[in-house]
Amino acid sequence: MDVSIIIVNWNTRDILRGCLSSIFQRTQGIEFEVIVIDNGSSDRSVEMVEAEFPQVVVIANAENRGFAAANNQGIAIAKGRYVLLLNSDTIILDDVIKKTVLFADAHREAAVVGCRVLNADRTLQQTCFMFPSVLNMLLAATYLYKLFPRNRFFGRERMTRWNRNSVSEVDVVTGCFMLVRREAIEQIGLMDERFFVYGEETDWCYRFKKNGWKIMFTPDGQIIHYGGQTTRQMARKFRLQVLGSQLIFMKLHRGKLSFLLARLLTALSLFIRVPYWLVTAVLHKSERRKSMETAGTYLIGGFYCLVGWKNLLMNKNSVKTP
């Protein structure tokens, strides 16, 4: 088996159908299997897959175990030389799976390979980024990379100068399409399940690189990634989870001082956004509810960063860090 394609699903039945259809329509010349891990969906996703794609292996969890844990379930039964972690809100283009496997075969030093990712309108989605650090978090929080996207310093964390048209070694390949070598997994281990969602691919890539493997990007193939199809169902919780996952990484890999600075920096970046959203709520009646909810999320998130950072997490009771 060349590749085991693992898709974690949570209440994205119709989008999942499109993803699976694109895989079987546009993947030829390699031996592959598809494994869907359903995290307790209530939209009959499991029934759809079983009825319309009987060749797909389905694991149906009774509850939402999180992205990392569900992927680990898939990896445990995967038969492929590679595993491909693929989001349910993606569409396969250009025989990308075969092209990425061939690239990985030619670059045996790579533990992880990513591909070119497009938005729904076929514009470039800027996947791949640097590992979190106090400096990179500061640059991301200022949004200066949006004002000066061609500036090497301001855009370093998001790699905004790079048009994703060339082969490159990177720090992190975004988890929406992540081809991983089985040999590397056997050496490093599975995803860290303390990352319920977000940050798990960053931690995994960091551990691979720390042990001598490369993380690589190839533009040979492309996918469409719609993005946000799962997280919009619980927008506030997922927005806070992003921050919490980043803090888990800082605590695990950057030391006590960096972790403290990261908490303070994150809190500050949230607090300074609250007045903007309150003013928006006053001036734009049609957006008042959404603006007030956003302001409230930022206020709560900043408070948690200062006095109880694990409250940012959806699985706070199961997260134990040094």
Task: For residue range 21-38, list pLDDT tens digits in order.
Answer: 999 999 999 999 999 999
pLDDT at 94: 87
Count other C-beta atoms under 10 Å from residue 286's C-beta. Answer: 7
pLDDT at 106: 98
pLDDT at 232: 60
CA 24 to chain centre: 23
pLDDT at 145: 85
Q: Which two three-digit tokens encode residue 68?
A: 């990392």
Q: Which two three-digit tokens encode residue 288?
A: 């008042």
b or e along 34-52 (b: 16 or more beta carbons within 10 Å of the residue's beta carbon)?
A: bbbbbbbbeeebbebbeee
Domains in the chain with CATH codes: 3-128+164-225 (3.90.550.10), 233-318 (no CATH)
- Ranges of the chain with pLDDT below 70: 228-234
Degrees, nearest 5: CA angle 197-203-207: 150
pLDDT at 297: 94
Measured on CA atoms in the order 93, 221, 46, 121, is the torsion positive or negative?
negative
Q: Which two three-digit tokens encode residue 70?
A: 């569900």
Strand partners, 224: 91, 118
pLDDT at 67: 95
Q: Are 99 and 220 in contact (CB under 8 A)?
A: yes
Q: What is the C-alpha R_g of the chain?
A: 20
